Structure 1
């Protein structure tokens, strides 16, 4: 009897011990589970409280969104005012692209000129401000626009779908054919795009011409550089076989160099060129488009192109 009692007591103690161990073992899991639930609940509660605060602070449940929209609208409308207040419109360009934009010594001073610059001056004039030009490599233009270092880009830029994801564009103000600049001694070698197969093709980095070389020319070895002038040096030293350029640019370089010529190859027309601005600046975009419409209507852009081409030929 005594032995039986001891056995019962032993099994009771053992059972209690097992239950205790199981409880201790499961405790962290329970805590973890509670912790996770608590974290989710806390997040949900915070969101709920935030929503409640928004709703109770106004009869309009979208007060916070409206406020954000107001701030954004204010920033959009203020860009034109900011430019007018500063008295300066900052143009970003890559001045190695005659007759669009290029360097020329005028009265002993290095000036950036071209029909893009003429257009920029008209835009600045319509805004009642002066024009400041920042010259940089083409691939640096979009980042500079995004960070606010420049206000607009006018640089013979094609408004591709990829670029439209990052910036807003004006209406197109010019459209040109794509041409192939070669050494004059090689010009008879090139009659069609098939003749460019497996050649060393020069293009400016991050341009529509780079895309053409990579997608339309079979087995091309594409040489992408930041400056057209560097590509021309590569062409003259026979490191590349030719350069894809817009028609007016190719013609300008050919006319300014006795050993270069534009090959008789049809590489197609581009989608046109436009002016880029930071996304959301609607009033600035309207002002730019109004200026462009006036210039196109009055045939001013055509005159700018003729004059700039003549200046580029004399360069």
Structure 2
């Protein structure tokens, strides 16, 4: 009898170890946009979302012991979908800003950069700042910090608001706007790979809105933030995030 009791006790101990080893594992529904090349975009060859932030989220999720499912969403739907619980996290080119921190929580930063400026190729002026664009018709994507800064500046004849970056790029390419402001790495990648042949990236422009990208999660989940931050620290320290950035040419 004692042998059988010992046998079952051993099973219980093993089961306890197994359960405790997987405690906290989650399947995370992660919102990403299909148009934010090269950070998050649709790979039409296999109909999946790919990009820098998708790769980084995959690394972080694996390190944290979580399963990651990517949910394609429009940029403007990311935070509303997160706050209403339709998704568990956002992995996109989303800056950590005070306004956003009022409604969602962010992990530690995983990447950082500033804004970029594009103009029609026929415009050869070396713009350095917003002041150089005074009186022009400019555009920016809704939900970005660049849009508010341009609207608040009072410098422009008109600030056009765009739902998608592709629409913004197309209007710049056709001359419907005089200039557009968006995330520098995305603009650089799109102009060099996206077929916008009548558009020029203004290399003389000096960014004044540098930002840091983090993974956004719904408020009220400190344990999730802590787990993701621990994973981020590991994939940063061993160079895995650097390898992703290099892979995408950034």
Q: Residues 103 and 110 of structure 1 are in contact (CA less than 8 Å); yes or no, is this contact kept in structure 2?
A: yes
With over 3 angstroms needed to count, the CA separation of the structure-2 counterparts of 1:164 and 1:81, relative to structure 1, is farther
2:3 maps to none
1:89 maps to 28
Q: 1:269 Cα shift?
A: 3.8
Q: 1:176 Cα shift?
A: 0.5
1:293 to 2:242 alignment: no
1:162 to 2:99 alignment: yes
Alignment counterpart, residue 234 of structure 1, candidates 158, 165, 171: 171
1:258-297 mapped onto 2 (5 Å cutoff): 258-263=197-202, 264-297=204-237
Q: Which runs of 5+ in 2 are unaligned?
A: 1-21
Q: 1:82 Cα shift?
A: 7.8
Q: 1:191 Cα shift?
A: 4.1
Alignment counterpart, residue 204 of structure 1, candidates 131, 141, 147: 141
1:224 to 2:138 alignment: no
Q: What TM-score does the superposition give when structure 2 sets the normalisation length?
A: 0.82
Alignment counterpart, residue 47 of structure 2, candidates 106, 110, 114: 110
CA distance in 2, matches of 1:131, 1:92: 10
With over 3 angstroms needed to count, the CA separation of the structure-2 counterparts of 1:248 and 1:272, relative to structure 1, is same
Q: 1:179 Cα shift?
A: 0.9
Greater share of helix residues, 1 or 2?
Answer: 1
1:307 to 2:247 alignment: yes
Q: 1:214 Cα shift?
A: 1.7
2:108 maps to 171
Per-residue Cα deviation, 1:169-205 (whole angstroms, up to 9, x for no partner)? 1111211021102222214253442221122221110
Q: What TM-score does the superposition give when structure 1 sets the normalisation length?
A: 0.66
Q: Residues 91 and 151 of structure 1 are in contact (CA less than 8 Å); yes or no, is this contact kept in structure 2?
A: yes
1:99 maps to 38
3-state SS of 1:179 partner? strand
Per-residue Cα deviation, 1:143-190 (whole angstroms, up to 9, x for no partner)? 100111100011111121111111111111211021102222214253
Q: Which runs of 5+ in 1 are unaligned?
A: 1-79, 311-315
- The alignment's C-alpha RMSD in Å is 2.1
Q: 1:299 Cα shift?
A: 2.4
Q: Which has the higher contact order (CA 8 A, sep 6+)?
A: 2
2:192 maps to 255
Per-residue Cα deviation, 1:200-239 (whole angstroms, up to 9, x for no partner)? 2211101111122123461351111121011111112211
CA distance in 2, matches of 1:270, 1:192: 14
Larger radius of gyration: 1
